[in-house]
Protein backbone atom coordinates (compact mmCIF):
# COMPACT_ATOMS: atom_id res chain seq x y z
CA UNK A 1 0.00 0.00 0.00
CA UNK A 2 1.12 3.58 -0.60
CA UNK A 3 1.32 5.93 2.38
CA UNK A 4 -1.81 7.67 1.13
CA UNK A 5 -3.75 4.40 1.01
CA UNK A 6 -2.53 3.53 4.49
CA UNK A 7 -3.73 6.86 5.81
CA UNK A 8 -7.15 6.37 4.30
CA UNK A 9 -7.25 2.83 5.67
CA UNK A 10 -6.35 3.78 9.25
CA UNK A 11 -8.62 6.82 9.23
CA UNK A 12 -11.55 4.66 8.12
CA UNK A 13 -10.74 2.18 10.84
CA UNK A 14 -10.73 4.98 13.41
CA UNK A 15 -14.05 6.38 12.18
CA UNK A 16 -15.63 2.93 12.24
CA UNK A 17 -14.45 2.53 15.83
CA UNK A 18 -15.98 5.86 16.85
CA UNK A 19 -19.22 4.95 15.11
CA UNK A 20 -19.31 1.66 16.99
CA UNK A 21 -18.89 3.34 20.35
CA UNK A 22 -21.53 5.92 19.49
CA UNK A 23 -24.01 3.22 18.50
CA UNK A 24 -23.28 1.30 21.68
CA UNK A 25 -24.02 4.36 23.81
CA UNK A 26 -27.18 5.19 21.86
CA UNK A 27 -28.58 1.70 22.28
CA UNK A 28 -27.31 1.07 25.81
CA UNK A 29 -29.96 -0.59 27.99
CA UNK A 30 -32.26 1.84 29.76
CA UNK A 31 -31.97 2.20 33.49
CA UNK A 32 -34.31 -0.34 35.07
CA UNK A 33 -33.83 0.13 38.80
CA UNK A 34 -37.05 1.45 40.25
CA UNK A 35 -37.04 5.09 41.26
CA UNK A 36 -38.29 6.36 44.57
CA UNK A 37 -42.12 6.23 44.42
CA UNK A 38 -44.18 9.41 44.68
CA UNK A 39 -46.54 8.48 47.51
CA UNK A 40 -47.28 9.26 51.13
CA UNK A 41 -44.40 7.15 52.39
CA UNK A 42 -41.78 8.68 50.14
CA UNK A 43 -42.83 12.19 49.13
CA UNK A 44 -41.05 13.83 52.04
CA UNK A 45 -37.70 12.38 50.93
CA UNK A 46 -37.85 14.06 47.52
CA UNK A 47 -36.59 17.38 48.82
CA UNK A 48 -34.49 16.10 51.68
CA UNK A 49 -30.70 15.88 51.70
CA UNK A 50 -29.86 12.40 50.37
CA UNK A 51 -27.80 11.27 53.32
CA UNK A 52 -30.46 12.53 55.75
CA UNK A 53 -33.23 10.75 53.83
CA UNK A 54 -31.38 7.44 53.72
CA UNK A 55 -31.42 7.24 57.50
CA UNK A 56 -35.18 6.67 57.33
CA UNK A 57 -35.43 4.06 54.60
CA UNK A 58 -34.74 1.11 56.81
CA UNK A 59 -37.39 1.95 59.38
CA UNK A 60 -39.81 0.39 56.86
CA UNK A 61 -37.46 -1.46 54.53
CA UNK A 62 -36.04 -3.98 56.94
CA UNK A 63 -36.63 -7.74 57.14
CA UNK A 64 -39.38 -7.33 59.75
CA UNK A 65 -40.79 -4.03 58.50
CA UNK A 66 -43.75 -3.32 56.24
CA UNK A 67 -41.69 -3.47 53.02
CA UNK A 68 -38.74 -5.86 53.33
CA UNK A 69 -36.13 -5.72 50.56
CA UNK A 70 -36.21 -8.54 48.01
CA UNK A 71 -34.00 -11.49 48.90
CA UNK A 72 -31.67 -10.91 45.98
CA UNK A 73 -31.24 -7.21 46.73
CA UNK A 74 -27.74 -5.83 45.91
CA UNK A 75 -25.62 -4.27 48.69
CA UNK A 76 -27.87 -1.59 50.09
CA UNK A 77 -25.41 1.07 51.14
CA UNK A 78 -26.71 4.48 49.86
CA UNK A 79 -30.24 3.69 48.65
CA UNK A 80 -30.67 6.84 46.63
CA UNK A 81 -27.64 6.30 44.40
CA UNK A 82 -29.55 3.47 42.76
CA UNK A 83 -33.18 4.35 43.43
CA UNK A 84 -33.22 7.77 41.83
CA UNK A 85 -35.62 10.53 42.76
CA UNK A 86 -37.49 11.88 39.74
C1 LIG B 1 -42.97 4.90 56.11
C2 LIG B 1 -42.40 3.67 55.58
C3 LIG B 1 -41.39 3.79 54.43
C4 LIG B 1 -40.24 4.53 54.40
C5 LIG B 1 -39.67 5.44 55.50
C6 LIG B 1 -39.61 4.27 53.11
N7 LIG B 1 -40.38 3.41 52.37
FE8 LIG B 1 -39.98 2.73 50.49
N9 LIG B 1 -41.77 1.69 50.48
C10 LIG B 1 -42.63 1.59 51.56
C11 LIG B 1 -43.72 0.69 51.20
C12 LIG B 1 -44.88 0.30 52.12
C13 LIG B 1 -43.45 0.26 49.87
C14 LIG B 1 -44.25 -0.72 49.01
C15 LIG B 1 -45.51 -0.14 48.52
C16 LIG B 1 -45.26 0.95 47.57
O17 LIG B 1 -44.87 0.69 46.41
O18 LIG B 1 -45.46 2.13 47.94
C19 LIG B 1 -42.23 0.92 49.44
C20 LIG B 1 -41.66 0.78 48.20
C21 LIG B 1 -40.40 1.26 47.83
C22 LIG B 1 -39.74 1.03 46.57
C23 LIG B 1 -40.29 0.20 45.42
C24 LIG B 1 -41.17 1.02 44.56
C25 LIG B 1 -41.74 0.21 43.43
O26 LIG B 1 -41.93 0.81 42.37
O27 LIG B 1 -41.99 -1.00 43.61
C28 LIG B 1 -38.54 1.66 46.60
C29 LIG B 1 -37.47 1.70 45.50
C30 LIG B 1 -38.43 2.30 47.89
N31 LIG B 1 -39.58 2.05 48.61
C32 LIG B 1 -37.34 3.01 48.32
C33 LIG B 1 -37.27 3.69 49.53
C34 LIG B 1 -36.13 4.52 49.91
C35 LIG B 1 -34.88 4.72 49.09
C36 LIG B 1 -36.45 5.04 51.14
C37 LIG B 1 -35.61 6.04 51.96
C38 LIG B 1 -35.33 7.32 51.32
C39 LIG B 1 -37.76 4.53 51.52
N40 LIG B 1 -38.22 3.72 50.51
C41 LIG B 1 -38.41 4.83 52.71
C42 LIG B 1 -42.51 2.21 52.79
C43 LIG B 1 -41.49 3.08 53.15
C1 LIG C 1 -26.44 -0.93 44.30
C2 LIG C 1 -27.74 -0.37 43.95
C3 LIG C 1 -28.85 -0.39 45.01
C4 LIG C 1 -28.81 0.14 46.26
C5 LIG C 1 -27.66 0.87 46.96
C6 LIG C 1 -30.12 -0.08 46.83
N7 LIG C 1 -30.91 -0.74 45.93
FE8 LIG C 1 -32.84 -1.33 46.20
N9 LIG C 1 -32.83 -2.36 44.44
C10 LIG C 1 -31.77 -2.36 43.55
C11 LIG C 1 -32.07 -3.28 42.48
C12 LIG C 1 -31.18 -3.57 41.27
C13 LIG C 1 -33.35 -3.83 42.78
C14 LIG C 1 -34.10 -4.89 42.00
C15 LIG C 1 -34.58 -4.36 40.70
C16 LIG C 1 -35.79 -3.54 40.88
O17 LIG C 1 -35.67 -2.33 41.21
O18 LIG C 1 -36.90 -4.05 40.70
C19 LIG C 1 -33.80 -3.21 44.01
C20 LIG C 1 -35.04 -3.44 44.61
C21 LIG C 1 -35.52 -2.73 45.70
C22 LIG C 1 -36.87 -2.80 46.22
C23 LIG C 1 -38.01 -3.65 45.67
C24 LIG C 1 -38.59 -3.01 44.47
C25 LIG C 1 -39.71 -3.85 43.92
O26 LIG C 1 -39.47 -4.52 42.92
O27 LIG C 1 -40.81 -3.80 44.51
C28 LIG C 1 -36.94 -1.95 47.30
C29 LIG C 1 -38.15 -1.68 48.18
C30 LIG C 1 -35.64 -1.37 47.45
N31 LIG C 1 -34.80 -1.86 46.48
C32 LIG C 1 -35.29 -0.47 48.45
C33 LIG C 1 -33.99 -0.06 48.75
C34 LIG C 1 -33.60 0.61 49.98
C35 LIG C 1 -34.56 1.03 51.08
C36 LIG C 1 -32.25 0.80 49.90
C37 LIG C 1 -31.32 1.40 50.98
C38 LIG C 1 -31.40 0.74 52.31
C39 LIG C 1 -31.80 0.27 48.62
N40 LIG C 1 -32.88 -0.26 47.95
C41 LIG C 1 -30.50 0.33 48.11
C42 LIG C 1 -30.60 -1.62 43.66
C43 LIG C 1 -30.16 -0.97 44.80
Q: For 22-73, write each residue's pLDDT tens digit.
A: 988 888 777 789 999 999 999 999 999 999 999 999 999 999 999 999 999 9
Does 36 fall in a domain? no
Ligand having the closest approach to the CA of 80: 1
Residue 10's pLDDT is what? 94
Ligand having the closest approach to the CA of 76: 2
> Using 50, 70 and 90 to split pLDDT, how confident is the model at 1?
confident
What sections of the chain are H helices per DSSP?
A: 3-26, 50-60, 79-82
Short-list 85, 7, 5, 4, CA closest to 49: 85
State which residues form the domain around 14: 1-30
Residue 37's pLDDT is what? 96
Residue 25's pLDDT is what? 81
* Spacing, Cα 69 to ligand 2 middle (Å): 7
Contacts 24+ apart (CB under 8 A), 5-12: none
Q: How many distinct structural domains can be found in the chain?
A: 2
3-state secondary structure of 85: coil
* 48 and 72 part of one domain: yes
Does 5 fall in a domain? yes
Amino acid sequence: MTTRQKNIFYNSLFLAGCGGILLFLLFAPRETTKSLPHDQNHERFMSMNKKEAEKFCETCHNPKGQAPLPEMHPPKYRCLFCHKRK
